[in-house]
Amino acid sequence: MFDKKIRVQKEGSNSLPERLAEALNTSAGAKMIYGEPIEHDGVTIIPVAKLRYGFGGGGGKHGGEEGGGGGEVVQPAGYIELKDGSSKYHAIREPMAFVPLVIAGGVTGLLLARGLHRMFHREGGSRG
């Protein structure tokens, strides 16, 4: 994982948003998303990354100063496999990403089973 912080100081006549956009433009590009192709035994692999970024800024009345900053995070997302004239994307999944889904499914199943149990026991108890 690649994590980069960007700081922008007041320079020239450009506004703060313009300076932040320029800073991100110089650091974020296609080469950060698609890595250099790797070829071996007739198979070409192109690494693919996920890029997330954000920025903010502000100004003050004291001395007319303004400043801003931002950051970007680049993480592996998968790879493109080129083989025998065809291409296929393979996602890299993080095992821990499924833990919240499994927990939510388990809780939902328990609540459903509990609700059904109560429903059938109430109906069964009132008939007899």
* Strand-pair category, 66-83 with 2-8: antiparallel
Which positions ≥6 away from 43 have C-beta within 8 Å?
81, 82, 83
Helix (H) / strand (E) containing 118: helix 99-127
Q: State residue 11's pLDDT score.
A: 52
Nearest to 57 by CA among 104, 126, 112, 6: 6
Coil/strand/helix, residue 99: helix
pLDDT of residue 73: 81
pLDDT tens, position by position, 31-89: 778 888 999 999 999 999 988 877 776 666 666 666 667 777 888 899 999 999 999 99
Q: What is the CA radius of gyration of the chain?
A: 26
Q: State the pTM of this model.
A: 0.50
Q: Which two tokens stand for residue 120?
A: 């059938």
Backbone angles phi, psi at 95, to 5 degrees: -55, -35
Q: Quick one: how far is CA 69 from the chain centroid?
A: 20
